[in-house]
Chain A
């Protein structure tokens, strides 16, 4: 068995433009997806738009942890916005546990992502 992260990349402008009714239908489709695959679903989430993102980068990357806890310190540069600006942005994810890539791709095809697509990434064994 392997774990895969299914990352949803969608056009934020399209999402912002949909009416309440259409948004409700998309969410309902996600609900049906989650209900149908509860046995392999290990997690998931829906992100606020990238306008709410804050990026931290600097000498310590996203915060060097070699000192006590989080210690990005004064060297880290904190900026408003996502790590990379793209038309289709990361907007949500599912974590699934399945036997192989084919099974993960079959699930990925079912994920509702009307304004973009999904990326499937295997997780390393830790």
Chain B
């Protein structure tokens, strides 16, 4: 039987990286050492799997990584370590004697509130997503050395400050779960529209958001915020293939080929929204997912129930007010009640300091002005928006809109 070890290893990297690493951390009690051992296990697999891919690749990799870790321990290379070992619960107080959930423990360690939000996202993508430092740096507008330093600092703090490798207890869980969800949400939004670079979508980030949301759903099947977040991931991701054209150019929601939206993802997302939305207090992710579901329900862009969308933005604005929510609400209002209503709502945001330099404000204004037949003003606004975006694909779209204005 001829096998392709490289393909099988790449596949296992994608599927098993996080579980293998999490199981290895329990042995090494050191994040860097665990990463090193897991990387070596994958390198070994490239050779060893030439004779046949094991039935359970994850188990094979975990065994190899743990064996490597024990070797290193024996060589006492770790005896001179500068940092204390991770605090690992030896006998986790799990109900019914269930085995400790290493994968979830790793996620909660990466998303610990004692780390900066930037570090939480970076560590999660690195340790659970298996992304390289340059890949993560590219997603977050920082240089590679800056991102490397951020990861190193975070790992040092985890060890020195004694951030435990553990799933939080029931009393702490509500607070801690919220922090994890916001990390996954940030991975989703960053992947959906990359803040910089030549492509609109970062497939690797979207895939990771998908995996993490699924992992959380499997562990917290009754949590409405988790259901809402998975719904948001699915309803956003269902449109992935239609958001750019053949040459990578941006296709706006209104112009996307809706027949190519992923029907299975939309169906699952919609049923999760129905499950999550009635819970009180309502979850922000459930409301965001509900907005995406209203878009998904419209067979043509013109069929969109904009009144419903304005209502959902009202809920967001009341509970989680932010300039970006106000901006999106104004855009929805521009469809529900006409461009003049949208422009009036945008005018209220003109002096908002947090939107200064935010390209979407100018872009939304330009679009509403165009629809109101005020071409000259629209040209100025769209030109401003083109200057403010760092994403090439977005800039191209704005340029095309400008040309069409004459």
A residues at B contact (CB < 8 Å): 2, 4, 99-102, 104-106, 120, 122, 124-125
| A32 CB to nearest chain B CB (Å) | 20
- Report the bound CA distance from A11 to B109 in whole Å: 33
| A117 CB to nearest chain B CB (Å) | 14
Chain A residue numbers with a CB within 8 Å of B164 are 99-102
Total interface residues on B, CB under 8 Å, equals 12
> Smallest CB-CB separation from A101: which chain B residue?
B162
B387 near A: Cβ within 8 Å? no
| A18 CB to nearest chain B CB (Å) | 30
| A101 CB to nearest chain B CB (Å) | 4
Interchain residue pairs with CB less than 8 A apart (20): A2-B87, A2-B162, A99-B87, A99-B164, A100-B87, A100-B162, A100-B163, A100-B164, A100-B166, A101-B87, A101-B112, A101-B114, A101-B163, A102-B166, A104-B162, A106-B172, A120-B161, A122-B160, A122-B161, A122-B162
A-B interface, 7 closest residue pairs, ranked by CB to CB distance from nearest: A100-B164, A100-B87, A101-B162, A100-B162, A2-B162, A122-B161, A101-B163
- Report the bound CA distance from A106 to B171 in whole Å: 11
B residues at A contact (CB < 8 Å): 84, 87, 112, 114, 160-164, 166, 168, 172
- Report the bound CA distance from A122 to B162 in whole Å: 8
Chain B residue numbers with a CB within 8 Å of A100 are 87, 162-164, 166
- Report the bound CA distance from A104 to B161 in whole Å: 10
Tell whether, in the assembled complex, residue B160 and residue A102 are in contact, meaning their CB atoms are under 8 Å apart: no
* Interface of B, helix, strand, loop or mixed by DSSP: loop
> Smallest CB-CB separation from B163: which chain A residue?
A101
* Interface of A, helix, strand, loop or mixed by DSSP: mixed
Chain B residue numbers with a CB within 8 Å of A2 are 84, 87, 162
- Report the bound CA distance from A106 to B161 in whole Å: 14
Chain A residue numbers with a CB within 8 Å of B114 are 101, 105
Chain A residue numbers with a CB within 8 Å of B112 are 101
- Report the bound CA distance from A2 to B164 in whole Å: 12
- Report the bound CA distance from A106 to B176 in whole Å: 13
Interface centre among A104, A105, A106 (most CB of B within 10 A): A105
- Report the bound CA distance from A6 to B112 in whole Å: 19
Tell whether, in the assembled complex, residue B84 and residue A125 are in contact, meaning their CB atoms are under 8 Å apart: yes
- Report the bound CA distance from A106 to B164 in whole Å: 13
> Smallest CB-CB separation from A124: which chain B residue?
B160
Chain B residue numbers with a CB within 8 Å of A106 are 172
> Smallest CB-CB separation from B168: which chain A residue?
A102
Chain A residue numbers with a CB within 8 Å of B161 are 101, 120, 122
- Report the bound CA distance from A59 to B87 in whole Å: 40
- Report the bound CA distance from A104 to B164 in whole Å: 11
Given contact pairs A122-B160, A122-B162, A102 touches B84 in the complex (Cβ within 8 A): no
Interface centre among B84, B87, B162, B164 (most CB of A within 10 A): B162
- Report the bound CA distance from A102 to B87 in whole Å: 10
Chain B residue numbers with a CB within 8 Å of A4 are 162
- Report the bound CA distance from A102 to B164 in whole Å: 7
| A113 CB to nearest chain B CB (Å) | 18
- Report the bound CA distance from A122 to B156 in whole Å: 12
Chain A residue numbers with a CB within 8 Å of B162 are 2, 4, 99-101, 104, 122
